[in-house]
Structure 1
């Protein structure tokens, strides 16, 4: 930033020096008859200097805007750096949840299921530490920004336009929608 400001100042100083030199050169060869021409030339050079000053100010403003925009993009990139990995892990989370929904009667399978549940909870807590949050959809009004309706169903428990059942969980990563919830909506 300091280098660009110094370069802008150097360009401004060079322009002013050139104008002063040209005016001094014109004055040294001037006579009373050349005075109107010199005034016209001085006005032209002043207009040129003003135009160049405006260009320098615009270039500086453009650079400041560019710097701010790239800083924001850098912050967003750091904030959502893990989005690709988390998106790829969501189907694994879904499969874990489906596996746990199976009723287990065998003692060995039950022990295995408890171990898998512990692994799932560890994965879930790690993803939550990264900012992943499961959305609660059942009983909420249908919102097309957060829900993907896959069917409408009759319901006496919920008013029309309310999510009755969640077929697949929706997730938010920090403040950004990562995946909408697939839901059934009451009619």
Structure 2
């Protein structure tokens, strides 16, 4: 709003100066006198041009700052996108990983089942290594103090040997990708 008023004021001054200069030219023509001094410059016009120059420099500085902010934001967004590119895939993989770990927790009844379980453990290790290479970490739980940023308390129990607000047991593993939590750990907390 202030900029518009400022622009209107400048426009009015321009119009006045232009009218004054036209009037001045007509007076010269009427007197039929020619000035031999071409270095003579109209003072108000110089002042006006200086003001206009300052305003233009200020606008240029603002545009430059806006552009730098845009470049920085774009760069930050690209870095975040590259950093967390695997997040959606990992989120889809976690339920399958949970089922895989449940299958590993079954006690084998015969030799054939034991061999199958060994093969599944090897595959599980490879999956865990691949996730670790992407920056995925399991959120530590048992014995840790409850942190609402990392854990989701689904039960409160009273257990001896644990401090208040200390995690007693983990019901579902939580994962984080670099510094971002993908899934909170579901835990039992001592009250």
Matched, 1:147 2:148: no
1:133 has 2:137 as partner: yes
Q: Is 1:107 matched with 2:111?
A: yes
**CA–CA distance in structure 1, aligned partners of residues 42 and 54 of structure 2:** 18
- Counterpart of 2:79 in structure 1 is 75
Distance 2:135 2:146 in 1: 24
Count of aligned pairs: 158
Measure, in 1, the Cα distance between the counterparts of 2:178 and 2:80: 11
Q: For the aligned residues, what is the CA RMSD? A: 2.2
Question: In structure 2, which of residues 166, 174, 180 is the aligned counterpart of residue 170 of structure 1?
Answer: 174
Q: CA deviation at 1:83?
A: 0.8
Cα separation, 2, equivalents of 1:131 and 1:184: 26
Measure the CA separation in 2 of the matches of 1:141 and 1:116: 32
Provide the C-alpha distance between the structure 2 equivalents of 1:117 and 1:140, rounded to a whole number of angstroms.
26
CA distance in 1, matches of 2:154, 2:139: 17
Distance in 1 between residues matched to 2:68 and 2:148, nearest whole Å: 38
Q: Which residue of the partner structure matches residue 12 of structure 1?
A: none
Is 2:47 aligned against 1:38? no
- Work out the CA distance in 2 between the residues paired with 1:119 and 1:92: 13
Give the corresponding residue for 1:160.
Answer: 164
Please give the per-residue CA displacement for 1:151-182, whole angstroms capped at 9, x wherever unaligned.
10110020111100000111111122111100
CA distance in 1, matches of 2:72, 2:181: 25
Q: Which residue of 1 aligns with 2:188?
A: 184
Could you say which residue in structure 1 is the equivalent of 2:60? 56
With the length of structure 2 as denominator, give the TM-score of the two structures. 0.77
Asked if residue 117 in structure 1 is aligned to residue 114 in structure 2, the reply is no
Q: Secondary structure at the match of 1:164?
A: strand
Distance across 2 between alignment mates of 1:81 and 1:93: 19
Post-superposition offset of 1:132: 0.6
5+ long unaligned stretches in structure 1: 1-25
* Residue 41 of structure 1, CA deviation: 2.4
Secondary structure at the aligned position of 2:42 is classed as helix
Structure 2 gaps, min length 5: 1-20, 29-34, 36-40
